[in-house]
Amino acid sequence: MVFNTLTFVVFFAVVLAIHSLPLGWTFRKVNLLIASYVGTSPLFALEDLANDPQFVGRVLVGVAPDIFFSGFEYRKGWLKYLRHQSPSERVGKWLSMHFIEPYLAFYDEDLALFTVLNRQAWPLRAGRDAFMPVRKLSITEADRNNHLWSKLESDPEYRALAQRIWAQQFNDPAPTPAEAIEKQQKLEKQIERAAAAVAKLRARGIPVLFVREPSSGEYLAFERKAFPRESSWDVLLQRTGSDGINFEDYAELQGFNLPEWSHIAASDADRFTNQLYAIIDREYGQPRGVHW
């Protein structure tokens, strides 16, 4: 993909944190292209960009450890769907996003009839444990800009529900030796995929910057336990030879409101965006005489 102005690609792990473009990007007419998808590892999109000889720009990759290093894909096959959309599907979606959803109605999966029915407290079969699926967390705009749903800030009960849903994975039993080996193999595979994609992009002069965005509370404790920094994030940067910004290394990237521990509140998104851009420009832009 070719744009006449700077194309800045971000992946979903930082989409909920980045909001309005900072002035440094606005003045340079940055095209912000949001790749990847909710709850899905960004590697499929990073690889797609690496294999696209027409792509030029900058790539900012958000790293949510439990998704990135496991290769989890909630929306598996999304790229294939995107490539095979019919003209009528594309037109229908565009019309819906620009003329129907903003003014009349929005079909939300979380409120679909069978989704609501499935999450009722139905009797369980013997030997089965109840498991609550992830509920609605974000609002998506026509340009795919996303922000955390305000209900998570304003509704204590809904916020507590979101936290309980995340907490379901926090106390899983320790993996067996075989499971531990499989987990490590998956982690190694994701890092190898990232390294191969970054190498292709770097060969075309395209910079890639990894960002470990903030998390807090019990979710951060879980991430540290399941994916220790020294065996995941640090290895990713070493193997890819890439730069990275980890929120734990910067005081200005801490202290944000994360209602359900894993996403920045919309009310703090602009401040986070400006703080992140300042770090990028200070450490990876000005010293190298380039604009990020």
108 vs 66, higher pLDDT: 66
Q: Is 255 left (phi over 0), alpha (psi -120 to 50) or beta?
A: left
User: Does CATH number 3.40.50 belong to domain 7-85+94-111+130-288?
Assistant: yes
Q: Are 245 and 211 in contact (CB under 8 A)?
A: yes
Supply the pTM of this predicted model. Answer: 0.85
Residue 120's H or E segment, with its range, is: none
Q: How far is CA 78 from CA 3, 45, 71, 81, 245, in A?
A: 23, 10, 14, 5, 28
Q: How confident is the model at residue 92 (pLDDT cuts 50, 70, 90)?
A: confident
Q: Are 258 and 214 in contact (CB under 8 A)?
A: yes
The average pLDDT across 102-131 equals 83
Q: What is the pLDDT of residue 28?
A: 47
Q: How confident is the model at residue 18 (pLDDT cuts 50, 70, 90)?
A: low
pLDDT tens figures, 182-206: 999 999 999 999 999 999 999 999 8
Q: Are 190 and 43 in contact (CB under 8 A)?
A: yes
* C-beta atoms surrounding 260 within 10 Å: 24
Q: How confident is the model at residue 33 (pLDDT cuts 50, 70, 90)?
A: low
Radius of gyration of the chain (CA): 20
Q: What is the pLDDT of residue 141?
A: 76
Q: Domain coordinates of the chain in residue numbers?
A: 7-85+94-111+130-288
